[in-house]
């Protein structure tokens, strides 16, 4: 197949591109003109320069494609509603409308389990209530899902939505690099003792689930949660990761109420001073880590045949090995 991947140079996009190429597909990766293409070095992907706000570049990129994986998004815990809407909603609209104009038959949208916000529940499924949320990321992912579903129902294109959780694994040069350095310096505390569950999603599991969802005719019009399907607390995750890295375990814990209040004041200060960079921590992050954030993957298991790797010792070891190799290579430069 001829396949377009938006956000191809990122953590998820590059992993997906490598997997698609290895399966024999002809892959085009849409990237910005200034994108770092290191993660796709040596991978036979055809690159096209474009932007989610540039309709003409999107129309050019979607010509003669059999399938579009829309991976590009604003994925952060900080930013205005307008910023997130421009990328996550308007950008998604621009991509899918370009695909429709070029009669691309299939479209996979990468959403997030964060559409459920943080309601402190276990085993939430695709139909779990979506309570009001103060977080622009959660809100705009919901709006983008509604847009994609509306266009599917219109009959103009076949769409499927996947919702990953907390993605980790080799080649994560954003969250893992920042987190690894904080763990080494013992600057990363637990929140609520680290005892709440995370929605851990190993990158290879996510990519496999995305491919299963995109190639199953019965999946179109459906939404699938794609996580590792394990019950693991943040404390256990960080202990396994620090053990694999040879670092000491985190020793401090932040009370959620105190952490939330501090984040609230910090965010207001950043806004008041018009500081554009991300604060050290946010209400979103504190809320995320202080509530059980756990989901059922039963629908994906039954309808897609999704069978994720669930050996967390192994997936975390692979993640740590990549991180140590990355640091070694950087020191030798």
Domain boundaries, the chain: 2-175+198-230+294-311
How many Å apart are CA 326 and CA 320, to the nearest integer?
10
3-state secondary structure 105-152: CEEEEECCHHHHCCCCEEEECCCCCCCCCCCHHHHHHHHHHHHHHHHH
Chain centre distance of CA 239: 23
Residues 6 or more apart whose CB falls under 8 angstroms from that of 212 comprise: 219, 300, 304, 305, 306
Report the pLDDT value the prediction gives residue 33, as an integer from 0 to 100: 87
Task: Using CB atoms within 10 Å of the CB of residue 155, give its burial: 0 to 12 exposed, 13 to 18 middle, 19+ buried.
Answer: exposed
How many Å apart are CA 159 and CA 177, to the nearest integer?
34
DSSP calls for 155-212: TSSEEEEEEE-EEESTT--SHHHHHHHHHHTT---EEGGG-SB--EEEHHHHHHHHHH
Residue 196 has pLDDT above 90, yes or no: yes
What is the per-residue pLDDT across 311-330, written as a single tens digit (0 to 9) for each?
999 999 999 999 999 999 88
Report the pLDDT value the prediction gives residue 270, as an integer from 0 to 100: 87
Taking Cα atoms as reference points, which of 119, 118, 121, 207 lies closest to residue 164? Answer: 207
Residue 111 has pLDDT above 80, yes or no: yes
Contact present, 175 and 121 (Cβ < 8 Å) = no
How many Å apart are CA 289 and CA 285, to the nearest integer?
6
What is the per-residue pLDDT across 124-155, written as a single tens digit (0 to 9) for each?
999 998 888 999 999 999 999 999 999 999 99
Contact present, 222 and 286 (Cβ < 8 Å) = no
Global confidence as pTM = 0.95
CATH number of 2-175+198-230+294-311: 3.40.50.720
């Amino acid at each position: 197949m001829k396949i377009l991947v938006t956000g191809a140079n990122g953590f998820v996009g590059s992993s997906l591109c490598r997997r698609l190429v290895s399966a024999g597909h002809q892959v085009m990766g849409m990237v910005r003109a200034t994108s770092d293409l290191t993660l796709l070095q040596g991978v036979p992907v055809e690159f096209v320069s474009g932007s989610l706000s540039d309709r003409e570049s999107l129309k050019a990129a979607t010509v003669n494609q059999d399938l579009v994986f829309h991976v590009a998004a604003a994925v952060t815990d900080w930013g205005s509603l307008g910023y997130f809407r421009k990328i996550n909603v308007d950008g998604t609209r621009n991509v899918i409308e370009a695909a429709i104009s070029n009669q691309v038959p299939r479209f996979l949208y990468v959403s997030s389990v964060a559409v459920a916000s943080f309601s402190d529940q276990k085993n939430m499924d695709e139909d779990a209530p979506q309570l009001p949320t103060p977080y622009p990321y959660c809100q705009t992912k919901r709006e983008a899902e509604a847009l994609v579903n509306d266009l599917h129902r219109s009959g103009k294109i076949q769409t499927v939505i996947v919702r990953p959780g907390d993605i980790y694994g080799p080649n994560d040069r954003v969250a893992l690099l920042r987190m690894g350095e904080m763990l080494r310096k013992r600057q990363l505390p637990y929140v609520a003792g680290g005892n709440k569950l995370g929605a851990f999603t190993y990158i290879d599991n996510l990519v496999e689930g995305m491919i299963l969802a995109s190639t199953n005719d019965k999946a179109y019009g459906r939404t699938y949660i794609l996580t590792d399907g394990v019950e693991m607390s943040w404390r256990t995750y960080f202990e396994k990761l620090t053990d694999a890295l040879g670092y000491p375990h985190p020793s401090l814990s932040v009370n959620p109420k105190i952490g939330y209040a501090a984040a609230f004041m910090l965010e207001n200060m950043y806004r008041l001073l018009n500081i554009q960079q991300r604060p050290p921590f946010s209400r979103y992050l504190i809320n995320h880590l202080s509530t059980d954030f756990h989901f059922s993957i039963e629908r994906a298991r039954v309808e897609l045949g999704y069978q994720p790797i669930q050996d967390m010792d192994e997936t975390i070891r692979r993640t740590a090995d990549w991180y140590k190799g990355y640091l070694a290579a950087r020191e030798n430069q």
